A and B are shown apart, each in its own frame.
Chain A
């Protein structure tokens, strides 16, 4: 290659690199601009909130023109896309751990406290006090908020998030159906249920079945809509935690009673399985089950009012009332619970002042007005009726509903009445307990309810178990950290000495060896420098990115380490946890072993194809392409494609099955079929192995087959006694590579199922990733990684041992 070619080539490549350089997109072109990163639940800020943000930016620009010391803010959003920031805060945590967190985060209020306890958020009290002292017209005033909303975002006397929206729950009832079944009051109007007994009676009497005993209408389903165990427990006077926040009371007698009530209703409808089968027939939009009369009564949130009955409900009579309570509790007044979102500032944010300005603006009246105006326009351009969302700020909430509902002459009176019911419930609503284990308690109490409803446990048993688990977590959260803090000095010394020893040893060994042949020694020595320089990329890489990390990772596996605090030495605790205390470890190992089934299947498929192609067929290149292409589809694209193929209603598989009159399973949504589904998807890519088989088959000499044919062996015998033994090295290689690959399955599970349903696709590598970056149990993750290493090593050694025994190597090479 001549010099000018090289120069030209590099120039072209460098220009291309400069043109493509992503850093160019990031650079802000204007001086004085400060970028604030806003992290919402999914994707970029859109719709009317975008208008509010635009106004915030414009105001900061105006302020900058008056006083150039003030920055111009630009809000960047859409960072760190995550399916559900609350259920899976991995992406948020990673950016915090990496040192570039968002400046403002829109976060579920129920989870604020948990992160506040870990010091992930800034307390906002000082900002609030300062604004009030300065008489800022937009100052956040805690007394304007519904007490439950404010309390839910507070922890240990500080507030960590400014509540934005709120949504409470109430009972929707179909007046026509109630009337038809004879549930009427003295005026002949439909009589909604007030007590649990009413509810139970209506649930049973309003339900209808077809001739096969399948539900065609349910009177009431406790978990349809949005009630959860929480609703029944609170309306029954139960509670989930003592006031001190240190004792969990999940198995409070009233809670148990509430769960028994839920279970009784399910049983009266024919059992939870039957009800779930009925659920799966539901559709959305104007075929919403409540509108279609498939469900007569439901407890649901305010958003459900907004989406269905308000849009399409003009054609039938419906109403909303407070959720029923047991008769003895009625005297205590109506009761519901609410949740919602809030804006918080991560503790490591680099622009806290700007972040607070944005939070304050988004909590202001002006912002609320902009959002409402924008949302209204969006709704109306789609031909929909506009209802504002409930706001946590009582003043704003009352103002906006006066403007858009009460004073709106065109508003459907049924909707107006429903809105009033919902808003009247807000001041006294309950909220989920503020606790460092709040999320876990929520997940655990609902899985306990599920267990009871499906008769896996009695309500008492289920709640006792849940109570024990959550209490243990809580105690751990309050207990002082274990172990001694580690100092890392000795690690660097150790590593330095090891490296030095290796270098000196190598030099001495080489010197000894080359001394024996004097002449050659000189020849060799002339290459030393060049050799080491040439190998230096690998040597440096090894020292920095492999050797050191290996040693570090061993040490960390004996520590408690969460990145934010210094590591603490805890001995074998992590390994003990794996063996006994972490059921998910075994679950993930089991899931991974299940996937091992896919290896022989995949090998059989690819070997089958290879055998066919080896029959001297015409157009081998074309066939090969067909079978090989699926193997090179990028994992992300492949996962997304198969999410769609596995879609229970519109996906390729079930549509194909339906054309044969079969009813396909729910695939990825069902814990029994999720792993087989992933194996099936793996089989599609099995063509990748075919190439290796083909090479192996080509290497088998024709003579063997001819000789065997002469001896009268048929095709099957020839395959069994010649092909297979001669392919055995390849079989072994594929088997081991397959096993190692199976232990690394991550991307598919992460994208397609997020480890669910019920942890059925939580594979080893995924559980490890979760521990490292979702729970920040880095020490435990390192221990898991080493166990993984031992497994891989074991498999490889086993392969080598076994292969000597029964793998047939032709002329000793493989």
Chain B
């Protein structure tokens, strides 16, 4: 080979390699774009509301940080802060703020002033008219400092200071008698503190309300317990629920309730987590009629765990256990949060069960009816077969809307409205497209095979079962997959025929969830993801049949 030809070959090779690279880059780019919404769905399903809207929206959820101390200053809130002349203003603001007298004693003074300064700067970005931002340094500083008083600083600081705080602890009987066991602001004197961590209860005030703050240091140990035996104004056997108003501190620590009454001991089925930093109520109640309804389950059930020492008919002992979370535990708590909320809002598993129920019936119905009808069309002779086959082909072109209204009337006349029958009985009547597909394949089977079976003494049932069906297994598999998908996704039929929420399949149930709690995107994405996962799983396991099915319907049709 001459050097020239080698160079040419190399060049050609180089060009090909480049082209191939280009193809992979394109594929990678395309795959990323197509996968992005999935990632977005999964990422959103573990986010808190505050991560979804606001100044800086990140794609990935924030990492939850268990803090060793409470109270502390949230340094993440203004981490991304940026803006014109920030470098110039921050030191001035910090020194100005440091002189104020609003800072609570015994807390991190430096973090408080530096973070508050950033918050004040952010506030100024919103408040200060544009002309000031162009003015000379001194003027700008003077203008800013003129607007920063203690009230504004305290207001900003309030938003970045994180501290566990308790409002009232109340119990309520089934007769609507309410006892405030610990009034808001009196926690310090009424609750006995224990546990391995160092902690104190400090009375405080917020707005119009007295509150109780928990100041703690988890260096020594991980748990803090707050306990007390209370006397109630109603017989404790009538106890309906226990409610604690609290403001979490975003440390993802867990709060558990331990209740002793009437000689038994109860424990909360799952902990509540101190996520976010908004006032909220935690409710605990014993299992009762509420648990089986489709109410929004805004409570944590209490489970009986054995005999207890409090036996008086008007006494209850409540122990609250705070436990610091590990980094991994915090992540786990954050991940399951929206999913748990979804399950609490709608009877999610009931919807899933209904969908599975319908899938089984539809699968059985479709496979049986379609294969037997196709067998009849393809291999058996009877008067009117040709006419019926043509009619069947013709019905494939009729949009479902044409028969929608009469079908509704028929279902109503049968008394099947608001039952599941309309959602699966149809599958017994052999869908035209599936029959057509199977007929095409069954016609291709040589007659000799059938004759041989007959000579061996098979009746036509056995020919159908032992000769025909095994030969069209792949087609049946494809039909099964499409039936599964169709049933799982079906929306309009349940929408029309069901009114009782307890009968909803998942598709309509997810819509109901969207109607109830559409603004909570975390829950929406959690629900959507759960509905999508089985489909994806099936796709992975039955990819071959999936693709075969699409190809069949796309080319034979």
Q: A98-B418, A98-B497 are in contact. Are A634 and B503 (CB under 8 A)?
A: no
Q: Which residues in B have their C-beta under 8 angstroms from that of A83? A: 515
Over the window 516-546 of chain A, the binary record of Cβ atoms lying under 8 Å from chain B Cβ atoms (1 yes, 0 no) is 0000000010011011101101111110111
Q: A21-B357, A98-B417, A691-B551 are in contact. Are A527 and B531 (CB under 8 A)?
A: no
| Contact in complex: A22, B420 (CB < 8 Å) | yes
| Contact in complex: B34, A626 (CB < 8 Å) | yes
| Contact in complex: B499, A786 (CB < 8 Å) | no
Which residues of chain A from 787 to 814 have a CB within 8 Å of any chain B CB?
788-789, 792-793, 796, 814
| Contact in complex: A545, B429 (CB < 8 Å) | yes
Contact of A637 among B53, B385, B502, B531 (CB under 8 A): B531
| Contact in complex: B207, A781 (CB < 8 Å) | no
Which residues of chain A from 654 to 692 have a CB within 8 Å of any chain B CB?
655, 684, 687-688, 691-692
| Contact in complex: A79, B532 (CB < 8 Å) | no
CA distance A781 to B515 in the complex (A): 26
| Contact in complex: B295, A45 (CB < 8 Å) | yes
Over the window 334-349 of chain B, the binary record of Cβ atoms lying under 8 Å from chain A Cβ atoms (1 yes, 0 no) is 0000000000000100
Q: Which of B5-13, B215-223, B486-494 contacts A (4 or more CB under 8 A)?
A: B486-494
The residue on B at minimum CB distance from A743 is: B399
| Contact in complex: A377, B539 (CB < 8 Å) | no
Q: A78-B501, A548-B406 are in contact. Are A534 and B380 (CB under 8 A)?
A: yes
| Contact in complex: A545, B41 (CB < 8 Å) | no
CA distance A527 to B353 in the complex (A): 42
Over the window 311-347 of chain A, the binary record of Cβ atoms lying under 8 Å from chain B Cβ atoms (1 yes, 0 no) is 0001100000000000000000000000000000000
The residue on A at minimum CB distance from B372 is: A534
CA distance A747 to B490 in the complex (A): 9
Which residues of chain A from 614 to 640 have a CB within 8 Å of any chain B CB?
615, 617, 621, 623-630, 632-638, 640
Q: Which residues in A have their C-beta under 8 angstroms from that of B298? A: 46
Nearest-CB distance from A763 to chain B (Å)?
Answer: 12
Interface residue tally of chain B, by bracket?
A: 35 or more
Interface residues of A, count at CB 8 A: 151
| Contact in complex: A640, B402 (CB < 8 Å) | no
| Contact in complex: A20, B511 (CB < 8 Å) | no
B118 at the interface (CB under 8 A from A): no
Contact of B360 among A13, A781, A814 (CB under 8 A): A13
Nearest-CB distance from B167 to chain A (Å)?
Answer: 6
The residue on A at minimum CB distance from B371 is: A534
In this complex, which of A510, A511, A538, A647 has the most chain B Cβ atoms within 10 angstroms of its Cβ?
A538
CA distance A44 to B514 in the complex (A): 13
Contact of B412 among A58, A98, A216 (CB under 8 A): A98
Q: A13-B360, A538-B429 are in contact. Are A617 and B23 (CB under 8 A)?
A: yes
Q: Which residues in B have their C-beta under 8 angstroms from that of A480? A: none
Nearest-CB distance from A380 to chain B (Å)?
Answer: 7
Q: Which of B86-94, B307-315, B521-529 contacts A (4 or more CB under 8 A)?
A: B521-529
Contact of B372 among A51, A101, A537 (CB under 8 A): A537
Q: A546-B398, A550-B403, A640-B514 are in contact. Are A502 and B53 (CB under 8 A)?
A: no
Contact of A552 among B37, B347, B406 (CB under 8 A): B406
Q: A527-B460, A733-B557 are in contact. Are A612 and B176 (CB under 8 A)?
A: no
Q: Which residues in A have their C-beta under 8 angstroms from that of B489? A: 634-636
CA distance A541 to B391 in the complex (A): 12
A507 at the interface (CB under 8 A from B): yes
Q: Which residues in A have their C-beta under 8 angstroms from that of B157? A: none
Q: Which of B24-32, B76-84, B96-104, B264-272 contacts A (4 or more CB under 8 A)?
A: B24-32
CA distance A299 to B514 in the complex (A): 31
| Contact in complex: A17, B361 (CB < 8 Å) | yes
A50 at the interface (CB under 8 A from B): yes
Q: Which of A89-97, A161-169, A253-261 contacts B (4 or more CB under 8 A)?
A: A89-97
Q: Which residues in B have their C-beta under 8 angstroms from that of A781? A: 401, 404-405
Q: A383-B247, A546-B398, A695-B554 are in contact. Are A553 and B357 (CB under 8 A)?
A: no
| Contact in complex: A44, B357 (CB < 8 Å) | no
B435 at the interface (CB under 8 A from A): yes
The residue on B at minimum CB distance from A21 is: B357
Q: Which residues in A have their C-beta under 8 angstroms from that of B429? A: 537-538, 540-542, 544-545
Q: Which residues in A have their C-beta under 8 angstroms from that of B372? A: 534, 537
Over the window 775-789 of chain A, the binary record of Cβ atoms lying under 8 Å from chain B Cβ atoms (1 yes, 0 no) is 000100110111011
A81 at the interface (CB under 8 A from B): yes
Q: A94-B496, A636-B491 are in contact. Are A792 and B397 (CB under 8 A)?
A: yes
| Contact in complex: A78, B170 (CB < 8 Å) | no
CA distance A544 to B387 in the complex (A): 17
Q: Which residues in B have their C-beta under 8 angstroms from that of A540? A: 429
A370 at the interface (CB under 8 A from B): yes
CA distance A691 to B129 in the complex (A): 58
| Contact in complex: A644, B531 (CB < 8 Å) | no
The residue on A at minimum CB distance from B278 is: A382
CA distance A637 to B400 in the complex (A): 23
Q: Which residues in B have their C-beta under 8 angstroms from that of A20? A: 353-354, 356-357, 360
A378 at the interface (CB under 8 A from B): yes
| Contact in complex: B535, A25 (CB < 8 Å) | no
A124 at the interface (CB under 8 A from B): no
Q: Which residues in B have their C-beta under 8 angstroms from that of A635? A: 489, 491, 507
Nearest-CB distance from B178 to chain A (Å)?
Answer: 7
Q: Which residues in B have their C-beta under 8 angstroms from that of A136? A: none
B296 at the interface (CB under 8 A from A): yes
Which residues of chain B from 18 to 52 have a CB within 8 Å of any chain A CB?
20, 23-24, 26-27, 30-31, 34-38, 40-41, 44, 52
Q: Which residues in A have their C-beta under 8 angstroms from that of B419? A: 23
Q: A100-B417, A796-B397 are in contact. Are A25 and B502 (CB under 8 A)?
A: yes
CA distance A139 to B141 in the complex (A): 68
A211 at the interface (CB under 8 A from B): yes
Contact of A772 among B405, B415, B432, B543 (CB under 8 A): B405
Which residues of chain A from 1 to 49 have a CB within 8 Å of any chain B CB?
13, 16-17, 19-23, 25-26, 37, 42-46
Nearest-CB distance from A765 to chain B (Å)?
Answer: 6
B237 at the interface (CB under 8 A from A): no
B512 at the interface (CB under 8 A from A): yes
Q: A532-B382, A634-B488 are in contact. Are A627 and B535 (CB under 8 A)?
A: no
A210 at the interface (CB under 8 A from B): yes
Q: A381-B243, A652-B40 are in contact. Are A628 and B384 (CB under 8 A)?
A: no
Q: A382-B279, A545-B426, A546-B403 are in contact. Are A637 and B381 (CB under 8 A)?
A: no
B1 at the interface (CB under 8 A from A): no
CA distance A744 to B151 in the complex (A): 59
With A25-B502, A78-B516, A541-B428 known, 17 other A-B pairs at CB within 8 A are A22-B503, A43-B517, A44-B294, A78-B294, A377-B178, A380-B209, A382-B278, A540-B429, A545-B410, A627-B30, A636-B491, A640-B528, A644-B40, A650-B52, A652-B37, A789-B397, A789-B398
Closest 8 A/B residue pairs (Cβ): A541-B429, A506-B384, A531-B382, A98-B417, A510-B383, A549-B406, A534-B376, A43-B516
Q: List 17 A-B contacts (CB under 8 A).
A: A16-B360, A25-B503, A44-B501, A46-B296, A314-B207, A381-B280, A383-B167, A410-B208, A537-B369, A537-B428, A613-B27, A625-B540, A629-B539, A633-B535, A635-B491, A641-B40, A747-B492
Question: Which residues of B come within 8 Å of A, CB atoms?
Answer: 20, 23-24, 26-27, 30-31, 34-38, 40-41, 44, 52-53, 57, 59, 129-131, 151, 167-168, 170, 174, 176, 178, 184, 206-209, 243, 245, 247, 278-281, 293-296, 298, 347, 350, 353-354, 356-357, 360-361, 364, 369, 372-373, 375-377, 380-385, 387-388, 391-392, 395, 397-412, 415, 417-420, 426, 428-430, 432, 435, 460, 464, 485, 488-489, 491-492, 495-497, 499-503, 507-508, 510-512, 514-518, 521, 524-525, 527-529, 531-532, 535-536, 539-540, 543, 546-547, 550-551, 554-555, 557
